Amino acid sequence: MPVQAKIGPSILNADLSNLAAESQKLLDNGADYLHLDVMDGTFVPNLTFGHPMVKSLRNKIKTAFFETHMMVQNPEQWIEPMADAGVNLYTFHVEPVQDVVRVSRKVQESGMKVGLAIKPGTEVQDLEKYLSIADVVLVMTVEPGFGGQSFMADMMPKVKWLRENYPNLDIEVDGGVGPKTIHCCAEAGANMIVSGTAVVGASDQSQVIKELRDVVHSYLK
Ligand code: DX5
Ligand code: ZN
């Protein structure tokens, strides 16, 4: 099936004390899914939230598609709790994982889709041996850890390579993506767009989400 344009706002820089309302607002404004940034203070130098918070959010928001972006040292540890919390797509970084295939299988056995993420310093070809098992590949366009950083355009060759070789793969970009950088991502072949500050901080979220989706759509064959 051909890939579709999907916009997944990152709630990292939203008012986390008001997460359910902030998330619902993004969905009402046209978000296709929610990108939930989980950080453990070890894999990245920052700390956010874990499965109890995701489960509470799921209790308030029953049907939306949830992706957790696991910026954690031991993603295997959180598979079951996140599946139980109602996560749909479990995206983890391959860098600290010894047996990516085994962890991916566990994710799928627990009923979630598998996303494989790479940091800017990781070669995209390192993922090739796992692409038959991955549902999504996430190419980071900033160093993971913080919202509001500048987009790294030099990551686009990774996206291009993936799109050229895997026309039906869901390719996600994350970090510094907004109306100014979306053309670059869409042209390279990204179809799943994470956008934090550019969407959450917008005075008209629905307009920005629509703009991002329209640009991606215009490049999809
Ligand atoms: C960074 C996170 C991103 C971040 C995106 O480590 O993975 O999801 O929140 O935020 P912006 O779009 O502001 O860079
Ligand atoms: Zn993220």
Q: What average pLDDT does range 174-179 have in this prediction? A: 98
CA angle 86, 216, 2 (to 5 degrees): 70
| Mean pLDDT value of segment 207-219 | 98
Domain 6-219 adopts which CATH fold?
TIM Barrel (3.20.20)
pLDDT digits (tens, 9 = 90+) for 125-169: 999 999 999 999 999 999 999 999 999 999 999 999 999 999 999
Q: pLDDT tier at 117 (50, 70, 90 boundaries)?
A: very high
Ligand nearest 149 Cα, by number?
A: 1
Tell me, yes or no, if 37 is annotated catalytic.
yes
According to DSSP, the residues that pair with 10 across neighbouring strands are 35
pLDDT of residue 219: 96
* pLDDT at residue 221 greater than cutoff 90: no
The DSSP H or E segment spanning 106 is helix 100-109
Per-residue pLDDT, 201: 94
- The two tokens of residue 86 are 């109602």
pLDDT digits (tens, 9 = 90+) for 94-105: 999 999 999 999
State percent of the chain over pLDDT 90: 98
220 CA distance to ligand 2 centroid (A)? 23
- For residue 157, the model assigns a pLDDT of 98
User: Is pLDDT above 90 for 193?
Assistant: yes
Nearest Cα to Cα of residue 73 among 51, 93, 50: 93
**What pLDDT score was predicted for residue 42?**
98
Residue range 182-209: average pLDDT? 98
pLDDT (0 to 100) of residue 1:
75
pTM > 0.95: yes or no: yes
Q: Give how far Cα 220 sits from Cα of 49, 185, 213, Å.
A: 34, 12, 11
User: Collapsing DSSP states into helix, strand and coil, what is residue 71?
Assistant: strand
**Mean pLDDT on 55-77:** 98
Per-domain residue ranges of the chain: 6-219
Name the phi and psi angles at 104, rounded to 5: -60, -45
Handedness of CA 207, 195, 1, 188 (dihedral sign): positive
Q: Which is catalytic among the residues 99, 126, 174, 214?
A: 174
Q: Please choose from 10, 34, 68 the residue to mutate so as to test ligand 1's pocket, defined by most ligand atoms within 8 A of CB.
A: 10
Computed over every residue of the chain, the mean pLDDT equals: 97
pLDDT at 2: 87
What are the distances in angstroms from CA 27 to CA 23, 44, 63, 131, 141? 6, 28, 11, 30, 24
- Does the CB atom of residue 115 touch ligand 1 within 6 A? no
Q: Which pLDDT score is estimated for 198?
A: 98
Identity of the residue numbered 178: G
Residue 46 is encoded by which pair of tokens?
């920052």
Ligand nearest to C-alpha 182: 1
In total, the chain counts a number of residues equal to 221
State the DSSP H helix or E strand holding residue 93, giving kind and residue range, or none if neither: strand 89-93
Token pair 């990292």 in the structure block, residue: 12
Is 170 annotated in the active site? no
Distance 196 CA to ligand 2 centre (A): 8
Q: What is the pLDDT of residues 74-87, one digit of tens each?
A: 999 999 999 999 99
Structure tokens at 169: 């793969």
Binding site membership of 205 for ligand 1 (Cβ less than 6 Å)? no
Does 75 sit in the ligand 1 pocket, CB within 6 Å? no
Task: Tell me what the mean pLDDT of segment 28-39 comes to.
Answer: 98
Does the annotation flag 111 for ligand binding? no
